Amino acid sequence: MALQFIDGFDYYTNLYYNWHYNTDGRYIAIASGIGRSLNSYGPVGSLAVGGSTTNLWLQRYITTANTTIIGFAIKFTYLTYATSFQILQLGNSGVGTGFTNKLALGWNIITNGLDVYDPSAPSATRWAMLAPLSSITTNNWYYIEWKNTSGVVDIYVNEKPYWSLISNTKTFYTGSINAIGFGTDISLLNNNYYIDDLYIMDDVRSGIPPVNYGPIGNSKITTILPASNGSLHAWTPFSGTNYNQINSVPDDGGTTYVSATTVGTSDNYNYTQVTSIPACVYGIKINTIGRKSPGIVRQIKPTMLDGAVSSAITTANITLPESYGNQSAIFQARPSDGKTFVGLGPLALATINAAKYGFILTT
């Protein structure tokens, strides 16, 4: 298993930087200043869902895999509906109008519990109601993890096994999944819940050192920002110094930037120091927000400089669009020796703080 995607909803407001379809930006949007944080190292945000309309969904493509694990924190702010509503949908056939809901995780207001929903099952068995471990209350964060392996669904709440569904005892969808969505299938007239600290893992990652583990438990994602120039700063700043041209949160839409035209040009930066971490770190995601000029192909790779080794960890170049978009890569091991951050345990802190993160123009 290895990380496919992580999102703390901290550093951006344009959902299309990390997501591929949004039915209505008025009622599903970034909530800046609201969310869970790890010692307030950087900006804080979350995904706010609700306010109006039905079939309100924010969707993203994911890699089809034999095993997929999705973990996220959720906080309900309004729970007076006497019905169930869906929170997470797993589908195939893409996003938007092509999205077909195949399996969903829902909330049952009556039982204060989670439901699993399969629209392809006979009507009498579409919902599998799950007895709650404990009563869920508003304005508290809970961490939910969903593991789906070829017909077996396992659900964990706050790191406790919640439920397991085996395909041969229930008629639930066991086919492929290539997209997920957060939202609701009923009208939520209030801002109904927040999502934060999302991770997605699968068993088919390539180009990332594999780490064999299951659900990783209550996880926090924190955003840190460039604090000074690193060892390489060959890109040209619009003004001032390189690092302070790229550390706006949210980004300023191109008011400040660095630019380059020569292939092989690199920038890297020292980041805000992290003084404490949980028991282990599972991954580091480097995010860049960039674009290219029309009429020419430009590609970059995010980099991590660990000691004397600079590693462009992605297996392929990332092509820059003509409008600003998010380009990212996930590191789960330090480039100097391939040791995973999980294996380093608390020692990962020194690596994280000493490393320099940046990008190189490759095309």
Q: Which residues make Cβ contacts (< 8 Å) with residue 338, sequence separation at least 6? A: 209
DSSP of 188-241, one letter per residue?
--SEEEEEEEEEEEES---SS-----S---S-------EEEEEEEE-SEESSS-
In contact, 85 and 79? CB cutoff 8 Å: no
- Residue in the block written with tokens 């729970």: 79
- Average pLDDT score, the chain: 84
Beta bridge partners of 340: 333
The whole-angstrom separation of Cα 90 and Cα 74 is 17
Residues of the chain with CATH 2.60.120.200: 2-202
Confidence of residue 317 (pLDDT cuts 50, 70, 90): confident
Q: What is the DSSP string of 87-149?
A: EEEEEES-SGGG-EEEEEEEEETTTTEEEEE-TTS-GGGSEEE---SS---TT-EEEEEEEEE
Element housing 342 (H / E): helix 341-344
Kindly tell me if the per-residue pLDDT of 296 is higher than 90. Answer: yes
Please give the CATH topology (third level) of the domain spanning 2-202.
Jelly Rolls (2.60.120)
Per-residue pLDDT band for 165 (boundaries 50, 70, 90) equals: low
Q: What are phi and psi of 47, to 5 degrees?
A: -100, 120
CA distance 217 to 199: 10
**CA-to-CA distance for 15 and 59, rounded, in angstroms?**
10
Position 168 scores a pLDDT of: 45
Burial class (CB in 10 A: 0-12, 13-18, 19+), 156: buried
CA torsion sign for 185, 191, 194, 200 is positive
Least reliable range by pLDDT among 15-29, 48-62, 119-133, 202-216: 119-133
Q: At 351, is the pLDDT very low, low, confident or very high (cuts 50, 70, 90)? A: confident
8 Å CB contact between 177 and 78: no
Q: What is the pTM of this model?
A: 0.91
Question: What is the average per-residue pLDDT within 222-247?
Answer: 94
For residue 12, give both structure tokens: 């951006």
Q: For 251-271, what is the mean pLDDT? A: 94
**Beta bridge partners of residue 59, listed in sequence order:** 21, 181
Is the pLDDT score of 130 beyond 70?
no
Q: What is the CATH number of domain 226-361?
A: 2.60.120
On whether the CB atoms of residues 163 and 155 are closer than 8 A, the answer is yes
d(CA 124, CA 171): 11
